[in-house]
Amino acid sequence: MYAHRYASTSFQHPGDAMSDDESADDNGADAEEEQEPVDLEAIRDDLESFESDVEALEADLEAADTEDDLDVVEADLEAFRDAFGEVEIPEPPETDDEDEDDEDEEPAPEEQLQERYDDIDSDVSDLESDLEDQRGPYGEDVVSEIESASGTITGTRWTEEGDEELLVAVDDFLETFTDLLGSDVTRTAEGEDVPAQLEATLEDAVDAVEAAALDADDDAETIAGLLECCDDFQSDIDDATEWTDLKVREQMRREGFYDVLDHVKDFPPEWHALKVHEKRGNVEMILLALETFDSDFMEEHCLEALERMGPEEAIEPMLQKANRRDTAAMSILGKIGVDSDDVVETLLDYVDSNPTLQQPAFRALGEVGAEQAVQPIANQLVEENPDVRSWAARALGLIGDTRAIEPLAEVLADDDEDRVRASAAWALNQIGTADALEVVADYGDDRAYLVQVEAEKVSLEPAA
């Protein structure tokens, strides 16, 4: 499509032509070499043409529906690369150091051309990546996934429980696999142990995929289904119990962590045990699980259980995690609600931080009622980020210190964001003194509905 135009394109590069006098001078020893001036306008026109070609290639790639279509786009991209590679942008002329320091000076034409060239090159690289992403998937990808799963099974030492889990995983895989492929692959009993048997079974599955000769276009739906089936299979393998898992589980079994299980309702069993321990209030077992299980899954559920429970026994381990910028630990400290120096000082470190850390720190300080945090949090009421101002206002309301009335009143009167003003009104209602409520009561006809709602809650009767 583009190869013919590219083949006929020529460019004038620096140093390609000699003057007549230089050609006539046979010895040339004392003659000063002269170069014809580079035609920057011609290069600019060529780059404009290449930019148009890139747009056309982008449209072709977007319209490509089959592998044959993609092959055409790939050939055009290769032809484009060959032609584009012939372009040479001349170096800009040397300038004095003083000129180089002038930041307001417009870049030299050569620099502008180089920037334009680099943009085109980047766009073409993106097109090449998009082309590869758009190809396939292929039957070979399914084979690769099955072989990878087989390698994991044979390369891992499994417990007896793990062997049973693998047998179930393979049976589930084959049920979907044979339905999608229309094959009759079944689990074999050949092999001296379970991994060897499953390796032989998966070799049969690979043979079945190769025999099917799946076409990337005609069988795209089948290939996609098989790949999804392989993903589920790999997940089941990952969940099976390895020998290395046994050390942790045996340790936890000796500690009595699994004693609460009459039967396993949830998988993995430690999750089921964790739920029972939470229900029974066994904080020490949840903390033991958090410390022992090297699992993001278990850590997440342990922290969620502690946040729901809010036990004081968790203060020390949560302080350790909060000092490592763990936002879940900050939230748990807030739910525990103990206004200790260690807790407050740890959370105060994040008051003047980034929003990701400020939000849980503000709320936790509010929930523990940290009076020494009033001024640091009040300082955040003038921050540029409206979210930060809103979180700060609500934290001050949770603390309930009357020193916050005046700064909150100023936010309610002057802040540009109605949601921040609504947070200030809510905070004043939370403080609940006559002075605080009197401020909010004046906003019954406010322009912002949320502020009106807070004003309607006000009772001017003296606070109890």
Task: Say which CATH number the domain at 388 has.
Answer: 1.25.10.10
Q: For residue 268, what are its two tokens? A: 């993995």
Is residue 293 in some structural domain? no
Same domain? 47 vs 120: yes
- Of 215, 241, 267, the one marking the end of a domain is 241
Alpha carbon 148 to chain centroid distance? 25
Q: Is the separation of the CB atoms in 458 and 441 below 8 Å? A: yes
- Which residue type, as a one-letter code, is found at position 184? D
Is residue 314 in some structural domain? no
- Of 190, 210, 241, the one marking the end of a domain is 241
Same domain? 163 vs 57: no
Is residue 248 in some structural domain? no
Res 326: pLDDT: 96
Same domain? 73 vs 151: no
Is residue 284 in some structural domain? no
Same domain? 201 vs 87: no
Is residue 9 in some structural domain? yes
Is residue 457 in some structural domain? yes
Is residue 319 in some structural domain? no
Same domain? 129 vs 149: no
Same domain? 197 vs 80: no
- Which residue type, as a one-letter code, is found at position 146? I
Burial code (b: 16+ CB inside 10 Å, e: under 16) for 67-76 equals eeebeebbeb
pLDDT tens series, the chain, 464 aa? 444 344 434 333 333 444 444 444 444 444 444 556 778 899 999 999 999 999 999 999 888 878 888 889 899 999 999 999 999 999 888 766 555 555 567 888 888 999 999 999 999 999 888 888 777 688 899 999 999 999 999 999 898 889 999 999 999 999 999 999 999 999 998 878 999 999 999 999 999 999 999 988 889 899 999 999 999 999 999 999 888 787 888 889 888 999 998 776 667 889 999 999 999 999 999 999 999 998 899 999 999 999 999 999 999 999 999 999 999 999 999 999 999 999 999 999 999 999 999 999 999 999 999 999 999 999 999 999 999 999 999 999 999 999 999 999 999 999 999 999 999 999 999 999 999 999 999 999 999 999 999 999 986 545 54
- Of 134, 153, 186, the one marking the end of a domain is 134
Same domain? 233 vs 146: yes
Q: For residue 103, what are its two tokens? A: 């930041």
- The span from the CA of 239 to the CA of 50, in Å, is 52
Res 1: pLDDT: 47
Query: Distances from the Cα of 397 to the Cαs of 113, 352, 406, 412, 436, in angstroms?
Result: 59, 19, 12, 13, 10
- The span from the CA of 131 to the CA of 118, in Å, is 20
Same domain? 189 vs 77: no
Q: For residue 162, what are its two tokens? A: 């793990």
Is residue 20 in some structural domain? yes
Same domain? 386 vs 442: yes
User: Looking at the 3D structure of the chain, how many domains does it have?
Assistant: 3
Same domain? 237 vs 130: no
- Which residue type, as a one-letter code, is found at position 365? L
Q: For residue 27, what are its two tokens? A: 């010895």
Same domain? 457 vs 392: yes
Residue 201's nearest CA partner among 180, 183, 213, 187 is 187
Domain assignment of residue 9, given as a range? 3-26+35-95+105-134
